[in-house]
Amino acid sequence: MKSLKFILIIAALLIFGLSGTLFVVEEGEQAIVTQFGRPIGEPIKAAGLYLKIPFVQKVRFFEKRLLSWDGSPNQIPTRDKKYIWVDTTARYRITDPLRFLQTVATERGALSRLDDIIDSVVRDLVSANVLVELVRSEGWKFKPQAEREGSIPFEDIEGEDRPVQTGRQGLTREMLAKASEVTPRYGIELVDIRIKRINYVDQVRQRVFERMISERQRIASQLRSEGEGRKAEVLGQMQKELERITSEAYRRAQEVRGAADAEATKVYGDAYNRDPEFYALTKSLEIYGNYPNAKSTLILTTDSEFFRYLKGTGKGPE
């Protein structure tokens, strides 16, 4: 029984000793073995199973993958005295874990050091350039106002008609190049720097919004004016077409009426030529039937030719 306990104790001690001797470096990690706080040997960058002296040596692990840095928004004046908030971000990796451990020790220390390096570079480059270089893309060219009515301006940017020399992308490349000159001494490779956002300070933001609203209202007014002009053009064309149709209809009606009058005159003439007296009688009877007219008064003497046939109706045969 005592031998079994002894064997179990020995096994436990062996397991404990091996657990303190072996360590694993995962994919995406790199490690440095330290002895009493001082690095021992070269950094371990390949994944695998490794040995160390238990209780004496410790292992510090560092990321091989890309790490992110996000700076705090800074208020910076541009060269043309525009005060703006600039919010930047960056990506970096640890390329020399030994130097990284000796200089900044931890990722928190690295972020603190990057705050100083990147913020300084960003402030220098923003202050050295006008605002249009920061908000316009590389290769942007000025277009006349008539060609960009549909675009909403970012501005109140003085000199916005100036061709962009560098642009935001060019400035971020300069920021990356300048910051990358410093970061290798800390075992860091800076991969990318980006400007996430640029905004005006509160003092001028309202003025910019008012200018944007005014610009939108001006464009809306212009579009309404063009619409009214088009409406007047369509209505004018419609009125012209209506007058043409009416005139054509009136001309056609006059032609038909003239042809009918001519035909009626011809019929009347033919009837008159056949028997003038009978024609005179029928016309007189037609007039008698339409007389009197409530809207007119006719004053005639009894000797008038108008009553010729009426006066002869009372006579008997001779």
- d(C-alpha 208, C-alpha 200), whole Å: 8
156 band by pLDDT with thresholds 50, 70 and 90: very low
What is the spatial distance between Cα 200 and Cα 202, in angstroms, rounded to a whole number? 6
* Tokens, residue 5: 């306990």
| pLDDT band, very low/low/confident/very high, at 292 (cuts 50, 70, 90) | low
pTM confidence score: 0.58
Question: How far apart, in whole angstroms, are the C-alpha atoms of residue 121 and residue 127?
Answer: 10
For 207-256, write each residue's pLDDT tens digit: 667 777 888 888 999 999 999 999 999 999 999 999 999 999 999 999 99
Question: Mean pLDDT across the chain, nearest whole number?
Answer: 81
Q: Is 58 exposed, middle or buried (0-12, 13-18, 19+ CB in 10 A)?
A: middle
Please give the Cα distance from 109 to 89 (Å, whole number): 17
Nearest of 98, 76, 82, 86 to residue 32 by alpha carbon: 98
Report pLDDT digits (tens) over 116-143: 999 999 999 999 998 888 887 766 555 5
Q: What is the DSSP string of 126-188?
A: HHTS-HHHHHSPTT-----GGG-TTSPP----TTTTSPPSSHHHHHHHHHHHHHHTTGGGGTE
| 139 φ/ψ angles, rounded to the nearest 5 degrees | 85, 0
Residues 56/43, Cβ–Cβ less than 8 Å: no
User: Where do the structural domains in the chain lie, given as residue ranges?
Assistant: 2-63, 67-200, 276-313
**What pLDDT, on a 0 to 100 scale, did the predictor assign at position 152?**
42
Which residue has better confidence, 313 or 193?
Answer: 193
pLDDT band of residue 263 (cuts 50, 70, 90) is confident
CATH superfamily ID and name for 67-200 = Band 7 domain (3.30.479.30)
